[in-house]
Amino acid sequence: MVTGKGQALSAMMAASPVATEEADLVRAAQRGEQDAFTALISTCDQGVLRLAHNLLKNEQDAFDIYQETFLRVFRSLHVFRFDCSFRTWVYRIATNLCLDYLRKRKVRKEESSLVNTGQGEVLDRTAVVAEENPNLDPQRSLLSAELRDAVERVLGELTPRERLVFEMRHYQGLRLRAIGEVLGTTEEAAKNCLFRATQKMRLALGDFI
């Protein structure tokens, strides 16, 4: 549960003195001030990288999403019109890129990723295993490998949109309203999407808990 994180992040995304400061930075960056642009990027780049890494479970893909997101930001900043917050705009770019990656990966997976090893074993070539440091979190090492596999499996079965909403709500701690804004939809639609995702997971993982 990440309600604490959620409140903090949502507060950052809401209109506030922070938002005013952000708008000032955007204007300065649009005038070509390098320091302002650097400050803007550093407000959200860690979140974007974490989102991409957790969603795609692949270091190289997360790195690529980071580059593509912020290069688009750099090239299009002069047309940013303050229709939403800068952070929301950046997340919108990043999530669209992540969705494309997930969709392509799903298509590839449906097409030809399952290979027979010839020894009665079927391997999924596109399945990626998250790099794990056993020292990182003792709780993680206690979690049974079986449950972890089951979670990976059910996450892979979610639609890209469900996966993204779940990721943003559970791990990034974004409020549903903010998620709706990022995805260009309503809070209600984001809520339904999250509901479908958690239902699928509860059904699939019910026996483990």
Partner 1 sequence: MTCEAARRQFDLYLYGELQFGEEEVVERHVEECASCREELSRCRSLHHAMDALESVPPAGLLQASRREFWSRVSRERVAPVGIVARIWSWVSRVTASPAFMRPVGAVALLAVGFMGARAWDSAKSKSEQPVLHVRSVVPDASGGFRLVLDEVRQRTVTGRLDDARIQGMILSAAAGSTDPMLRASSMDALKDHCERADVRKVLLTAMRQDPNFSVRLKAIEGLKPFARDPETRRALSEAVLSDDHPSVRTMAIDLLAGDRENAVIGVLQELMLRESNPDIRQKSLKALRASNASPSTF
Beta carbon of residue 53, minimum distance to partner 1 (angstroms, whole number): 4
Place of tokens 């959200």: 44
Q: What are phi and psi of 89, to 5 degrees?
A: -60, -45
Site residues, partner 1 (CB under 8 A): 1-3, 6-7, 30-32, 38, 41, 45-46, 49-50, 53-54, 57, 59, 62-63, 66-67, 70-71, 74-75, 78-79, 130-133, 135-137, 139-140, 142-143, 147-148, 151, 169-171, 175-176, 191, 194-195, 198, 201-202, 205-206, 208-209
Least Cβ distance, residue 20 to partner 1 (angstroms)? 21
Minimum distance, C-beta of residue 25 to partner 1, in the bound complex (Å)? 15
Nearest residue (CB) to partner 1, 121 versus 207: 207
For Cα atoms 124, 165, 91, give the angle at the middle one, nearest 5 degrees: 105
With 0-12 / 13-18 / 19 or more C-beta atoms within 10 angstroms meaning exposed / middle / buried, residue 40 is: buried
Q: Where are the alpha helices (DSSP H) in 121-186?
A: 138-142, 145-157, 160-166, 176-183
